[in-house]
Amino acid sequence: MTFHDFNKMNEIDKMGEIADNAVFLMRRKDGCYKVSLYQLYGFYIEAYIDLMKLSYKFVRAFDNVNMLKEYLRKIDISGLFPYDSNRSHAK
């Protein structure tokens, strides 16, 4: 299945596919929406939940990694590269 195939599905089938096969990655807030990011079959899915109505507003799929920037900004990688204050970087 491609993201184009997924986008052609009705909303109920999309939600079923997400529940059965997608991997949850992370969540962010976008205005009055909570947006959940999933990975499925090599593409990504965003599910928008209306926080006022507590209901799904829409679901969209994409395979362009540039659309992940909002999520990538939230990942703290500082612990992967510990700073050693005893080591001089000047040579």
With cut-offs at 50, 70 and 90, classify the pLDDT of residue 71. Answer: confident
50-80 b/e (C-beta count within 10 Å ≥ 16 → b):
eeeeeeeeebebeeeeeebeebeeeeeeeee
Could you read off the pLDDT of 6-53 as tens digits, one per residue? 999 998 999 999 999 999 999 999 888 999 999 999 999 999 999 888
pLDDT greater at residue 81 or residue 43:
43
Measured distance CA(2)–CA(90) in Å, rounded: 50
Q: Under a CB-based contact definition with an 8 Å cutoff, are residues 46 and 60 in contact? A: yes
Could you read off the pLDDT of 56-69 as tens digits, one per residue? 788 989 998 888 88
Tokens at residue 61, please?
């799929």
pTM, whole model, 2 decimals?
0.77
pLDDT of residue 88: 52
Say if residue 5's pLDDT is above 60: yes
